[in-house]
Structure 1
Amino acid sequence: MPRISAAERRSDFVRAAVDVIAARGVDGATTRRIAEQAQAPLATLHYCYDSKEDLLTDVFEFVAGRFRDVIVSSEPRADLVLTAQALLRDVMEFYLESPNLGSTALEVTNWARRQNRDHAITVYDKAMETLRDTLRSAAADRSIEPETIDHLAYVIASLADGFGLNWLTYGDRSTAAEQMEISASVLESWLATRLEPAPAAR
């Protein structure tokens, strides 16, 4: 039987913790439950992690990284407006299709803020900077103020997270589909009032 590396084991424990935290919250996610979810001995978990806090730190980094991955992997658009709309829809769809990750993200963000506020801010800022970078790239052929990009990133994040919280609370797919369209229309209205039309191609 091939030996499983410590790095692979840590990855297994992080993914197992996501499911346990989504079901039971941070306080209910004991190391024993996480080890059982990972189908691994508890001693192996304690070999990989000195404490539950160390494991939760990796979980926090993991879920934040998954949201950054969604932003980075969003299909590139040549136009800022189309890019913004695609980013919002992609993050909302990620919430819709990954409820455990979304629920765990809320749990561990609050945990991280209580444990080490500066670190929590750093991780969140990294995700927001990924979003701003994507928007800047799409706006390369337009004269867009940096403040406008900052505001646009905030609007997308607020709409997506608001949608995610509602979806995680009610879990109603038909309502969620309708709310996705509402959120998209709010972004469209904001874009229409804040951005000048792109210059016509010559």
Structure 2
Amino acid sequence: MAHVESSVRRAQLIAAARSALARDGVAKTSLRAVAAEAGVPLGTMQYVFRTKEQLLRAVIEDVVHEIAQVLEESAQLEDGLAHAIREGVAGFWSRLVSGHTGLQLMQYELTTYALRAAGQESLARWQYERYGGVVAEWCRQAAGRAGETCAVPFDQLARVIVAGIDGLILQHVCDPDDARSRGDLDVMIETWVSLAGVRREKSS
């Protein structure tokens, strides 16, 4: 087998894991199954990820990175926090939710798997800390670049945004209706914008 750089191999295995997890679910996806998905020997798989938990953490981080990238690409942060929330969340929904049921189910299953697996509860907590952290930093940058203040702490705003999106995604997965879901999302977005209570910082 030709030599593959470790960073390339790691990315290959994470991509294979995401495909297997989205298709087969967390419980049925083993290291052996991911190795087969990637077309590599099990030993190669275990050299990069010794345990399933290590692999799942890497998958979560990869998803979080993708979310951060979509948010960044969907809105001009210089246009302020309200603009970022409206455009960023809409972009997130279009690119990562609508038509991506497997991806969303995978994330919910990762959470419930971690909460039910003895000793893995911290993985679920870390998963949502990463979601919230990405959204909070994105909101903070949008407000900062536009010289704005937010009526609530950015961490709290982020948790509320993540919670609201979670609920809407779950309803959409259970009963896919793009028009209804986008209408509900628009209402939720305006709720978050109102909560943020964006104001321009006073010049000294």
Q: Same fold (TM over 0.5)?
A: yes
Query: TM-score w.r.t. structure 2 length?
Result: 0.78
Unaligned runs of 5+ in 1: none
- The aligned length equals 195
1:144 aligns with 2:145: no
TM-score, structure 1 normalization: 0.79
Distance 1:30 1:122 in 2: 21
Offset of residue 197 of structure 1: 6.8
Q: Deviations over 1:161-196 (max 9, x none)?
A: 2222233333x3xx1233112221232145347626
CA displacement 1:116-170 (0-9 Å, x = unmatched): 33354334223312212222233232343343x3443233222322222233333
Per the alignment, residue 166 of structure 2 pairs with 161
Q: Which residue of 2 aligns with 1:124?
A: 128
Percent same amino acid among aligned pairs?
23
Does residue 86 (structure 1) correspond to residue 91 (structure 2)? The answer is no
Letter of the 1:74 partner, please give it: S
**Secondary structure of 1:139's partner?**
helix
Determine the structure 2 residue equivalent to 1:107.
109
Amino acid at match of 2:109: E
Taking the aligned partners of 2:100 and 2:156, their CA distance within structure 1 comes to: 27
SS where residue 98 of structure 2 aligns? Answer: helix
Q: 2: distance between equivalents of 1:18 and 1:152?
A: 29
State the match for 1:70 in structure 2.
Answer: 70
- By how many angstroms is 1:15 displaced? 1.2
**RMSD value over aligned CA atoms?**
2.8
| Cα gap change, 1:50 to 1:80, in 2 (>3 Å) | closer
